[in-house]
Structure 1
């Protein structure tokens, strides 16, 4: 993927560029806010990694200007400012995720990958329909064959992720990351427990289960049930 890294610390920037390139990504770099803003507006990027404290204009202002011009590139803030208010400021400015220095590159890469998997805003659907299940994302309502399926928020998010990835194998790690926001394995059966509850609710009238368990690999949601 194409990544923009905006960081004024030369050593950190060099580490980001070399590590991301080694992971197979194409990286553009900038050492100040004005250059970062120009690069972000001139070309499309899958993800931008932006430091909060930048010369020229700071990271918050950079992202505010991006959003004001309609650029919706997912932004990961990378900063030493780790307070709750700092995180809130970053997200309210238009950032999508927040990682505090010092950081582990494995976590940064996982967060970048998660941001890149999000569908572009212009293509986000408001109703998902597969396997006879209709999910209204605006009204937060799920129904199957005319029967309302009452889901808890986490069950709703789990089903949404499965339906958006219908026909594809999704791993336990992907679910932990995308549904729970965990970038590590909590060593619990949280996924299995919620999956069991979701299936019981979806198939409460004896309907065929659209979710296939692939032993040792993950799950597949089938849009068409044979």
Structure 2
């Protein structure tokens, strides 16, 4: 999943950024809600996690939540309050959040709630075709699954194939793949992308997957699933 992480706490940002990345998510961080709204209106995210909400963020939070809920292909919005009562959590949910936690919270529970919201969103938007290969990623095992067959992905392969899966049978720019699969790197050699794609192709061929990764000359790649 691609996650936009918003926090005014550097400690919380470092902790959650590391935890999400270790769980094979692509993460982009923002230190204020105004910048987060700008990013979310220009790029596509599966979830927006707003954490360590205290005095510095609480006022702007209730202004931002309705705007986030109106975004095209609205991402799941998860809020973690620094402190609060059940009434505070209810108020956050009424304002537009999909889930609300109060510190101390369980990262595992937060991630499972986020994944459940994402699965529901995918199910609602899915338009199956009789001619299209049914591909999906299993976040628990980090497998790519095609008609019951499974192949284990590395973290980088997982992120790259996840990015391609967002636009199946459509070209994805190399720069977009780099931002998604290498969110922790500022400068990525194009050969690194080629290497990961080559490994993916070998895995798909060795496991007799029908899906394939095609090169789009001078542009990037696409995942063909027909």
Q: TM-score, normalised by structure 2?
A: 0.50
**Rg larger in structure:** 1
